[in-house]
Each structure stands twice: as C-alpha cells, then as structure tokens.
Amino acid sequence: MPQKPGRGWRSPSAPQVIFITEYVSSGSLKQFLKKTKKNHKAMNARAWKRWCTQILSALSFLHACSPPIIHGNLTSDTIFIQHNGLIKIGSVWHRIFSNALPDDLRSPIRAEREELRNLHFFPPEYGEVADGTAVDIFSFGMCALEMAVLEIQANGDTRVTEEAITRARHSLSDPNMRKTPEFILSCLARDPSHRPSAHNLLFHRVLFEVHSLKLLAAHCFIQHQYLMPENVVEEKTKAVDLHAVLAEIPRPPRPPLQWRYSEVSCLELDKFLEDVRNGIYPLMNFAAARPLGLPRVLAPPPEEAQKAKTPTPEPFDSETRKVIQMQCNLERSEDKARWHLTLLLVLEDRLHRQLTYDLLPTDSAQDLASELVHYGFVHEDDRTKLAAFLESTFLKYLGAQP
C-alpha cells in the first residue's frame, strides 16, 4: 500500500497519480439520465433550469480566474449529482494538473477526451487551436441538450452524429422548454467567438428569474449566520405564537388573505436553509466577475519565481471553508495585567475551531483578523466580518478597542 501524503499520491508500481475525491452518492449525470429514461419519465423543466444554473455558476467561477481555468473535459460523465440534487463538476483536475504531470502520466488524460462516444461534447475547433472558455460553453450546450432529451442517440456504439443532435433538438416538445432550443443553439455555435460567456448565459431569459424574497432572505441569513446561535431557527420558532398572523394581503371588499406562523414548517425551513448553504440555489446571477488566484500548479515557472525570490517566508496553506458562526469571549488574566481572548469558529462543514490569544496593548481587530487569514485559520473572504466582530467584542468588554 503506497503512502498517502495529503489527498493524493503517485503509485510506485505504475505511472499513475491517485487522488482521494469526494464520494457522490447518486452517480454521474449520464447514469441519472439513463435511469430516468428507463423509468419512462421526462426531465422536469424546473430541475433542468436549476441544474443548468448550477453548472454555469461553476463555469463562471472557473472562467473568472486570472488567467481563466478551462475545464476542457465537460461531459455528462464528468458531472455528478448529490442525493440532495446538488450538481458537482468533476475532473477539473484534468486542466489544473495536466501541465504539472510528467509525460508518462498525460496520455490517459488525452485518451479520456478522445473516446468516440464523447467526441460530440467537443467543439469543431477541438485539436486545431488552443482551448479557450468557448470550449466549455460548447460542451455545456451539449450537456444541456442531453439533459433536456435524456439521451442523444448514437450511431451504433461509436459516436453521435450531427443528424442525431439535430433530431434531439427538434424533439423538445415540452411547452415549458419551448425557448430551450434557441438557448442551446447559442452555445453550439460553430464559431467560438459567437458563443456567449457562462456569466451572460446566467442572464438568458430561459434561466434568469427574479429571485423570491424567501431566497434572498435565506442568502442574507446564511451570510450573517456567524452572528447568530447555531439553533436560532428552532429557538425563534419556540418563542413565536403559532396563531399570530405572519403576513396578510388586503382584498377589499373580501376578507384579507392571511398566513399564520402555524403554516410555516420549522423542518421545511431548516431544510431550505441547508439547501441554500450547500449551493443548490445560487445567486451567481448577481455576482460580479472577480479575478481569483491560481492554484500552485499553475503558478509561474520556477525560473521566473527564482528571479523574484525574497527572504519572505513561505505562506501558510489558505483556509477554503467559510465561517458560518463566531463566538468570542474576553477574560482578565489572574494578575489583571492583560486580557485573554477565546475565539470559537464554526466552519461551513461544521468543524469547530477554538483559538486562544493573550491580547497586547497594541493589538487591533484588523491586525488580528489579518493574522488569522495569513496563518490559514480563516478564509480571506471572512477577514472583514471577523474584524468587525472582534471590534464589537472589544467595545463590549473594554469600552474601546485595545
């Protein structure tokens, strides 16, 4: 059994790199579509839109990196479904790691893309020019078409022909998907410059909708959950008079339409918040594209890095999980000379992280938050809210920031 440094290792007996990846309980999109067709069911239009939005949100994130990360291998075999309906895109390592691997490990990656049964997922320019973001858009369009019709009939067991793709487009008979062919055709344009970006596709009339107040409120709740107790929904529900009116719509001269707290299920609300937290209902439509740092394997070559070498120590591994809850306590030391800070962080995977620190007179909330990010205890995106949280704690206990 080879050693397992971190989450991947190279096999000593074969030209392989083995990765430990997340287990996805419901299998690939291809498997799901086959089961659906076997059971004589059709793809639900709402599910199709939700899954397209999730895939495009992921592609928009990758393409917004600087430089853009191209997936380059998007098919219904590399898209996976969680038991709760959350879509996961797999094989992103294909592009991220392929340039960092030795030559003897690259051929299986190329072979995976060159399988005849998957060739229709790759655009006409594949193999002739360097891959760009338009490659992923073409592949997404083919996945969207396959999701809508459940299966694109191949020519025997070899490859899917242009005629089969045309027949699949014309077979969309569901009235709820009458605008879908136009949406898919824009992704399958032969000229890559005519294909829309993932970000723009999120605003296409087929997918875009004004989000409900319930969904916007849920995202706001998740974003600020670190300020609330972990069981806040349950506690708030206990304190509410179930017979009280939650909302009312006046309809004169008829009686008003009323909703009472008893009609809101606490369990359903918890489930909805969990789905939002897991990314099933993203608000990526409103997120401005921002450049992101590259993984280390895509960093500048060693010779370039050598030129810019400085005595600065190696950075610590960055924290990738967001904080969903924070608690902070300050206590005087026994000699009353200094304050002892205890910080409890709950991360999005429910990991509890407790940190302790003896405050110095020169410490500020901003400096402490920056240090926690630098040493890999806190996600970069949580820096500002952590600093604000610490500052409010200092004001509460000390009356002024230390």
As for how many domains the chain has, the answer is: 3
Residue 312, pLDDT > 50, answer no
Domain at 383, CATH number: 3.10.20.90
> Both 133 and 219 in a single domain?
no
Instruction: Give the tens place of pLDDT for each residue, 178-187.
Output: 678 888 889 9
**H-helix or E-strand spanning residue 385:** helix 383-398
The answer to whether 228 touches 325, Cβ cutoff 8 Å, is yes
CATH of the domain at 100: 1.10.510.10
Confidence class for position 134, pLDDT limits 50, 70, 90: very high
Kindly state the percentage of the chain with pLDDT values over 70. 76
- Residue 362 pLDDT > 60, yes or no? yes
- What pLDDT shows up at residue 10? 60
For residue 297, pLDDT beyond 50: no
Q: Which domain holds residue 254?
A: 213-282
Q: How many residues does the chain have?
A: 402
- CB proximity list for 112: less than 8 A, separation 6 or greater: 73, 94, 118
CB contact burial 94-133 (16+ within 10 A = b; e otherwise): bbbbeeebeeebeeebeeebeeeebebbbbebbeeeebbb
Closest CA to 134 of 193, 90, 219, 200: 193
Query: Are residues 223 and 188 both part of a single domain?
Result: no
SS3 345: strand
| Confidence band for 173, pLDDT divided at 50, 70 and 90 | low
The span from the CA of 52 to the CA of 59, in Å, is: 11
305 found inside a domain:
no
- Is 380 within 8 Å of 321 (Cβ atoms)? no
Amino acid at 190: R
Residue 246's φ and ψ, nearest 5 degrees, are -85, -45
Residues 360-378 have a mean pLDDT of 86
**β-strands 352-358, 87-89: how paired?**
unpaired
| 58 CB burial (10 A radius; 0-12, 13-18, 19+) | buried
Q: What is the model's pLDDT at position 187?
A: 92
Which of 6-20, 150-164, 350-364 has the largest mean confidence? Answer: 350-364
Say if residues 1 and 12 touch (Cβ distance below 8 Å): no
**H or E stretch at 339:** strand 339-347
27 within some domain:
yes
pLDDT value at residue 237: 73
Which of 231, 249, 282 terminates a domain? The answer is 282
The average confidence (pLDDT) of the chain is 76
Q: Indicate the pTM of the whole model.
A: 0.57
307 within some domain = no
Is residue 239 located within the same domain as residue 376? no
Same domain for 156 and 253? Answer: no
Site of tokens 């009116």: 245
Any residues with CB less than 8 A from the CB of 329 and at least 6 apart, and which? 341, 342
200 and 54 in a common domain: yes
**Interaxial angle between packed helices 133-149 and 45-63, expressed in degrees from 0 to 180 and rounded to the nearest 10:** 170
In the prediction, which pLDDT does 113 show? 52
Q: Is residue 7 part of a domain?
A: no
Can you give the pLDDT at residue 144? Answer: 92
Q: Is beta strand 8-10 parallel, antiparallel or unpaired with respect to 245-251?
A: unpaired
Which residues are paired to 245 by β-bridges?
260
Residue 398 has pLDDT above 80, yes or no: no
Strand partners of residue 344? 327, 354
Same domain, 218 and 200: no
Q: What is the pLDDT of residue 304?
A: 46
The answer to whether residue 309 is domain-embedded is no
Highest mean pLDDT, choosing among 135-139, 304-308, 361-365: 135-139
